[in-house]
Amino acid sequence: MDTGLIHIYCGDGKGKTTAALGLTIRCAGRGGRIIFAQFLKSRDTGEIQALQRFDTIAVMRGKGTPKFTFQMTPAELAQVKDEQTRLLHQVLARCRRETPNLLVLDEILPACSLGLLAEDEVVNFLKTKPATVEVVMTGRNPSQRFLDMSDYVSEICKRRHPFDRGIHARIGIEE
């Protein structure tokens, strides 16, 4: 790959992270090097356990959020913002240093839309990223700036979900 493009997997449906994982596995299967970064998530999931088995996939995660941002005190919100920003800086520095084939920024879109990450900083990185790095961003509500600079935009629409009937995440399926 000599031209790294930008992907967005967005929408209210299940499968945004799953789509990013599929591309991650495809890239790894062809010998690619990947940085898979997760924002706002910290639960131990099957996909993270699987990714950690690959030598060519670096998993980078911060701390998840203890509750919804609208429930947080100003001090809690500031702490989460600091943690997410620290993770972003580590991820971007590693990307510039190692120039992987694929960089996945899972849940970065809501981190930006909620004000937990500076969108300007992410946009600047996308404009100046190493030319060969393919970038995937996931989450709900991408800004128009992100949409405009992306080469792929795939929206996953929820038509039905078991959670609506009170069925919570199941190990091996949703986590």
Q: What single-letter DSSP state applies at residue 14?
A: T
Q: What is the pLDDT of residues 32-86, one digit of tens each?
A: 999 999 999 888 899 999 999 999 999 999 887 777 888 888 998 999 999 999 9
**Which helix (H) or strand (E) segment is 58 a member of?**
strand 57-61
Q: Which residues lie below 8 Å from residue 91, measured CB to CB, with a gap of 6+? A: 35, 37, 60, 103, 105
Across the strands, what pairs with 60? Answer: 37
**Which helix (H) or strand (E) segment is 60 a member of?**
strand 57-61
Q: What single-letter DSSP state applies at residue 169?
A: P
Q: What is the pLDDT of residues 8-20, one digit of tens each?
A: 999 999 899 999 9
Model-level pTM greater than 0.85? yes
Q: What is the pLDDT of residues 91-129, one digit of tens each?
A: 999 999 999 999 999 999 999 999 999 999 999 999 999
Across the strands, what pairs with 8? Answer: 137, 153
Distance CA 47, CA 44 (A): 9
Q: Classify 59 in phi/psi space as left (phi over 0), alpha (psi -120 to 50) or beta.
A: beta
pLDDT value for 167: 82
Look up the CATH architecture of domain 6-161: 3-Layer(aba) Sandwich (3.40)
- CA 67-95-122 angle, to 5 degrees, is 55
**Residues 105, 39 contacting (CB under 8 angstroms):** yes
pLDDT band at 1 (very low <50, low <70, confident <90, very high): low
Across the strands, what pairs with 10? Answer: 139, 155
